[in-house]
Amino acid sequence: MAKSDLQGTLDLLVLKTLAHNGALHGYGIVLHIQNASNDLLSVEEGSLYPALHRMEQNSWIDAEWALTETNRRAKYYKLTAKGRKQLQQAEESFDQLVKGVRAVMRYA
Amino acid sequence: MSLIRKIRNLFHRADIDREINAELQSHIDLATEANMGRGLPRAAARREALLRFGNPTTTREHVTAADATLSLDRFWADLRYAGRQLVKSPGFSITAILSISIGIGANTAIFSSMDAVVLRPLAVPAMDHVLTIAEHHERTGDDNVSLANYEDWVRRSRSFEELSVRTGVDMNLTSVGDAAHIHAEMASANFFSVLRVQPLLGRLFVDNECTAGRDTVAVLNYGFWQRNFAGDPSILGRRIELDQRTYTIIGVLPKSVQYPAEADIFLPFAPTPQQLANRSDHLYLVEGRLRDGVTLPQAQSELRSIASQLANTYPITNRGWTIHADPLLDVINGPLTPLYYRLLMGATFFVLLVVCANVANLQFARGIGRRTEIAMRTALGATRTRILRQLLTENILLGLIGAGGGLLFGWLYLRLTLVFMPEQVARHMSGWSNISLNGRAFALSLVLALVAGLVSGLAPALEALRINLSDQLKAGSRSTIGAGRRRWLRNIFAIAQISLAVALVVGAALMAKGMVAQLHVADAYNPEKVLTFNVALPARQYDTPQKQAAWYVESLAKLRALPGVTHANVTNALPYSDYGWNREFQIENRPTTPGKDQNALNLVVDSDYFSAFHIPIIDGRAFSGSDSIQATPVAIVSPRFVAQYFPGQNPIGHRIRMGHTDSSDPWLTIVGVAHETSYTLWDQNQYSVVYVNTTQRPSPTTTYTITTNGNPLALAEPARKALASIDPALPLDSILTWHHFLIDELIGLIYAAGMIGLDALIALFLAAIGIFGVMANVVGEQTREIGVRLAMGARREDVLRMVLRRASRLTGIGLLGGLALAFFLARGVANLLVGVRPDDPLVFGSITVTIALIALASSWIPARRASRVDPLEALRSE
């Protein structure tokens, strides 16, 4: 479970972020996760970009180059219909995971 | 679709890399900007961003991997790596690729040829529905069909969509160039629809052209069109003269359907009422197409019941006759061709096995040198599956390159086969002209290549992974031998190679011996000194026995007058030719017992025939000049005839008559008995013979023989001129020596023996390489051991002996296995092939010795190298 679940969690965070914010570039995603989690979670770029590209290959997200507010070119990602479905599934299975882990923690 | 995108990404790697770089760069820029926004100076902001980002190279690689995780990409990488590895060891690569090319090339070529000749000789749709239907007599076996019976089958049978009838006629073509002797098929119009053949040019004849007066149209067989009309596309409408009758060419059949192969031309068959009513002349060939859902046994049993109805209705002509149906494919192929091909395919497949063993062996040898490399890669984090896949990729690459080379080799091989097949033999093989490397063969070669790569790569690849990492890196040398298993496996491959090679060589030698025996079967007659050719007297011009007899007298006189000619003769069949007509006959004052037929080969010869061929007359007299057409017709019989029909009696003076009870032939008085002579080559039956004199009972078709002491072929032109001086319009077929004729008859066997011989040579060569490879490696691995032995006082001869002993053990086991295999296979083959004995001690013995010598010779070099090891050098080098 370990590896894929952790990766799944990152996917979930990214998908959720994009669902919330519409189109966002990689750096924006990092910032959003950091802020939204009150600095509890910090996403490593080394993991984020491979994950973004993997999700793009899976057609969960779409990418397009655009200009930032400061007039820099950046690659923006946004959710596709497939990604929305994937997000829903990921949320459900994450809930299950959390519930399961909680139950075990309480029991122990 | 993401898969497509990934595949597309593979081809845009540069673009993708650039884009990833730009994206990551923009991230760093954004982070730097943000940091500057927090008040950091530019340089510090940037450093902070970079620090935060981590190792950009690793990230980039991971991102790239996400974009192209497809294993195809890794496969490319593996392939490139494999290519580099192969280039690094050219000796290994060239040997391996060459042997795979040979193995696959031979297999592809043989399969192509078999596909064209045996599996699909005709492009006839649903060919398994097409049957040939013959009449079958309980005593004499299969025979052609009488027309009245055929008409009854058509009316009564329900199993067939259609039945068609045809009969072959030899005709003289006079209007095109030199007079030529051609083979025409008079066929019913539905012959073409039974085969479901469409014309290449023009049209085929139809039903209402199969009536007298409207039947002067002709359809050409493809081969004849090519040979005689150079494939002229404007041939349609051309008029040709056949036996002094004019026909209009209306169509040409396609190359892919040349059946019967010997037919030059098809003419509409317009039977006369008399022919339609005739039940006793078995002259016709019948083909039929089964209705869908009707099986061969069902059709067969329906035909049998029709035959027994006919036998009841027409007891005189039909008693004892039944009907026999065979798939057309079996009839075209005959018994021998598929057998040869199966033998050949089997032998060639053996070669491929030897090739695989050889490549595996080479891989082993290479595996030793690569253990350090593999250990290093494992230590650097490569998983075992990863390395295994890499090694297999290498083998598949080898296999693919080999397949390419194999196609080239196969093409060459096929060209050679085609070139060496005599034209007059090829003409009789329906599928021969369709032989080419085909798509199926290519597919087969690819599959073979992959299988060869996998089979030969798997064992060594697994072996290479079995190494102990730390030991390997520590020692970093070839001295650590996985003593037991690997050596054992490698020995198995070497032994298998020797065994397969031995079995092949023995098989090839047995076949070759059988072939040579067959080729020399007629040596007593000096067939190199005898020229032969066939003549068919046109029925219109030579319409009476008198005219035919006169022709023979005059032509033989002219030929005998040629300088250098010692004998000139005619006969219907040469000894060992498988020709001749086995006819029924009656004995005077002896009623025929129903179901007990009397048959003998009826040969028409001239008076001089017996002395020319050194056939002594053992009783009575020979033919003489006084046996004229007015004199009492006489016959000479063979001892077998006497034993069969006049046991314990003197046959001389008795009278016999050729033909059925209603025969109109004259009675022949037996005047002599000639020494037993065999007229069969392949046919295992021996026949009784009745000779008659050509001056009394001339035959319109005959074989001339001219015997000389000089070069027989030099007489071909004078003979042609001599005959042309009597009748310039009379066509002569190719003139060749009797020896040549026998070669043509035996060409299938010669081919099969030659090809299997070639296979055997290849296998032997590969086995020699295999032994050499194994021994060279053994010596290489044991250098230190040998060094120690020498240092401890072993003599060089001891080392030499040690290595050779080991080679002998391998060879010995291989030989034993091979001989057992060969003996087992030869017994199967000997039943099928004339002249092959499975237990020929000479062949087995001499080959055992030969192969043992080859094996020892190929281990000699490594053994010598071992004995020359310098102990100091060997010990220091480790």
Structure tokens at B224: 């004849």
B 62-81 near A (Cβ less than 8 A)? 62-63, 65-67, 69
> How far apart are alpha carbons B660 and B63 in whole angstroms?
94
CB contact under 8 A, B66 and A57: yes
> How far apart are alpha carbons B100 and B358 in whole angstroms?
9
Comparing CB atoms, the residue among A44, A50, A68 nearest residue B63 is A50
Task: Give the containing element (helix H, strand E) for B164.
Answer: strand B160-173
Cβ contacts of B20 on chain A, cutoff 8 Å: 49, 53
Indicate the residue type of B822.
A
Q: What is the CA B412 to chain-centroid distance, rounded?
A: 16
> What number is the average pLDDT over the span B555-580?
90
Comparing CB atoms, the residue among A25, A54, A70 nearest residue B66 is A54
> How far apart are alpha carbons B799 and B867 in whole angstroms?
5
- pLDDT given at position A3: 40
Per the prediction, chain A carries an average pLDDT of 85
- pLDDT given at position B617: 94
For B721, residues 6+ apart whose C-beta sits below 8 A from its C-beta are: none
> How far apart are alpha carbons B445 and B402 in whole angstroms?
9
> Of B288, B49, B269, B9, nearest to B158 (Cα)?
B288
CB contact under 8 A, A74 and B23: yes
| Residue A54 to chain B, least CA–CA distance (Å) | 5
For B343, residues 6+ apart whose C-beta sits below 8 A from its C-beta are: B507, B511, B752, B756, B829
Residues recorded for chain A: 108
Comparing CB atoms, the residue among B6, B23, B31 nearest residue A75 is B23
CB contact under 8 A, A49 and B62: yes
Per-residue pLDDT at B442 exceeds 80:
no
Indicate the residue type of B631.
A
- pLDDT given at position B58: 78
Q: What pLDDT digit, counting tens, does each position of B212-264 carry?
A: 888 899 999 998 898 888 889 999 999 998 888 899 999 999 988 888 888 99
Tell me B213's DSSP state.
T
Q: What is the CA B365 to chain-centroid distance, rounded?
A: 37
- pLDDT given at position B453: 72
- pLDDT given at position B8: 63
> From B16, which residue of chain A is nearest by alpha-carbon distance?
A53
Comparing CB atoms, the residue among B2, B26, B55 nearest residue A57 is B2
Residue B40 phi, psi dihedral angles, 5° rounding: -75, 150
* Residue found by looking up tokens 């002579």 in the block: B677
Q: What pLDDT digit, counting tens, does each position of B94-106 carry?
A: 888 888 888 888 8
- Confidence tier at B485 by pLDDT (50, 70, 90): low
CB contact under 8 A, B63 and A49: yes
| Residue B426 to chain A, least CA–CA distance (Å) | 60
* Residue found by looking up tokens 């049978």 in the block: B157
Contact B536, B732 (CB under 8 A): no
For B680, residues 6+ apart whose C-beta sits below 8 A from its C-beta are: B576, B578, B686, B687
Question: Number of helices and strands (H, E) in chain B?
Answer: 29, 22
Kindly report whether the peptide bond that precedes residue B260 is cis, defined as omega within 30 degrees of 0: yes
Burial class for B126, CB neighbours closer than 10 Å (0-12, 13-18, 19+): exposed
> How far apart are alpha carbons B366 and A51 in whole angstroms?
41
What secondary structure does DSSP assign to B752-809, as a single string?
A: HHHHHHHHHHHHHHHHHHHHHHHHHHHHHHTHHHHHHHHHTT--HHHHHHHHHHHHHH
CB contact under 8 A, A45 and B67: no
> What number is the average pLDDT over the span A1-26?
78
CB contact under 8 A, A58 and B59: no
- pLDDT given at position B479: 45
Contact B661, B586 (CB under 8 A): yes
CB contact under 8 A, B33 and A70: yes
> How far apart are alpha carbons B592 and B518 in whole angstroms?
38
Whole-angstrom CA distances from B491 to B358, B364, B713 are 11, 11, 56
CB contact under 8 A, B54 and A45: yes
State the number of CA atoms in the 13 A half-sphere of B155 facing the CB. Answer: 9
| Residue B32 to chain A, least CA–CA distance (Å) | 11
Residue B266 phi, psi dihedral angles, 5° rounding: -115, 130
Comparing CB atoms, the residue among B19, B54, B62 nearest residue A50 is B62
Asked if the C-beta of B54 comes within 8 angstroms of chain A's C-beta atoms, the answer is yes
Beta-strand relationship, A73-79 and B130-137:
unpaired
Per-residue pLDDT at B594 exceeds 70:
no
Asked if the C-beta of A67 comes within 8 angstroms of chain B's C-beta atoms, the answer is no
> What number is the average pLDDT over the span A81-93?
90
Residue B202 phi, psi dihedral angles, 5° rounding: 65, -140
Cβ contacts of B65 on chain A, cutoff 8 Å: 50
- pLDDT given at position B55: 80
| Residue B63 to chain A, least CA–CA distance (Å) | 4
> How far apart are alpha carbons B5 and B402 in whole angstroms?
32
- pLDDT given at position B298: 93
Q: What pLDDT digit, counting tens, does each position of B327-379 carry?
A: 998 888 877 788 888 888 888 888 888 888 888 777 777 776 676 777 777 77
Whole-angstrom CA distances from B255 to B74, B122, B252 are 48, 9, 9
- pLDDT given at position B633: 93
- pLDDT given at position B476: 46
- Confidence tier at B480 by pLDDT (50, 70, 90): very low
> How far apart are alpha carbons B92 and B147 in whole angstroms?
68
Residue B868 phi, psi dihedral angles, 5° rounding: -100, 5
Structure tokens at B109: 């070529």
Per-residue pLDDT at B179 exceeds 50:
yes
- pLDDT given at position B1: 45
CB contact under 8 A, A50 and B33: no
- pLDDT given at position B560: 93
Query: Mean pLDDT lowest for which of A71-80, B163-172, B395-404, B588-597?
Result: B588-597
SS3 content of chain A, % helix, strand, coil (to 5): 65, 15, 20
> How far apart are alpha carbons B811 and B790 in whole angstroms?
26
Q: First vs last Cα of chain A: how many Å apart?
A: 20
> How far apart are alpha carbons A11 and A55 in whole angstroms?
8
> How far apart are alpha carbons A3 and B531 in whole angstroms?
89
> How far apart are alpha carbons B487 and B480 in whole angstroms?
12
Q: What pLDDT digit, counting tens, does each position of B185-212 carry?
A: 999 999 999 999 999 999 999 988 988 8
- pLDDT given at position B477: 47
Comparing B422 with B710, the larger pLDDT belongs to: B710
Whole-angstrom CA distances from B364 to B463, B465, B487 are 8, 12, 9
Task: Give the containing element (helix H, strand E) for B490.
Answer: helix B485-519
What is the interface pTM, i.e. ipTM, of the complex?
Answer: 0.87
Q: What pLDDT digit, counting tens, does each position of B608-665 carry?
A: 999 999 999 999 999 988 888 888 999 999 999 999 999 988 999 999 998 877 778 8
Asked if the C-beta of B6 comes within 8 angstroms of chain A's C-beta atoms, the answer is yes
- pLDDT given at position B415: 85
* Residue found by looking up tokens 């009492």 in the block: B632
**Count of C-beta atoms within a 10 Å radius of residue B161:** 15
> How far apart are alpha carbons A16 and B741 in whole angstroms?
89
Comparing CB atoms, the residue among B30, B63, B65 nearest residue A27 is B30
Q: What pLDDT digit, counting tens, does each position of B382-403 carry?
A: 777 777 878 888 888 888 898 8
> How far apart are alpha carbons B521 and A20 in whole angstroms?
97
| Residue A43 to chain B, least CA–CA distance (Å) | 10
> Of B566, B582, B579, nearest to B712 (Cα)?
B566
Per the prediction, chain B carries an average pLDDT of 83
B 22-41 near A (Cβ less than 8 A)? 22-24, 26-27, 29-31, 33-34
Query: Which of B26, B29, B38 is most worth mutating to test chain A (most A CB atoms within 10 A of its CB)?
Result: B26
Q: What pLDDT digit, counting tens, does each position of B311-326 carry?
A: 999 988 888 889 989 9
> How far apart are alpha carbons B58 and B823 in whole angstroms?
64
| Residue A52 to chain B, least CA–CA distance (Å) | 8
- pLDDT given at position B254: 92
CB contact under 8 A, B31 and A27: yes
Structure tokens at B775: 């021994």
Indicate the residue type of B198.
Q
Tell me B183's DSSP state.
E
Contacts 24+ apart (CB under 8 A), B21-26: B21/B60, B22/A73, B22/A75, B23/A26, B23/A49, B23/A74, B23/A75, B23/B63, B24/A45, B24/A49, B24/B53, B24/B56, B24/B59, B24/B60, B24/B63, B26/A25, B26/A27, B26/A72, B26/A73, B26/A74, B26/A75
- pLDDT given at position B373: 75
> Of B556, B501, B579, B565, nearest to B744 (Cα)?
B579
Q: What pLDDT digit, counting tens, does each position of B125-176 carry?
A: 888 999 999 998 876 678 899 999 999 999 999 999 999 999 988 888 877 6
Per-residue pLDDT at B72 exceeds 70:
no
> What number is the average pLDDT over the span B276-281?
88
Per-residue pLDDT at B483 exceeds 60:
no
- pLDDT given at position A22: 87
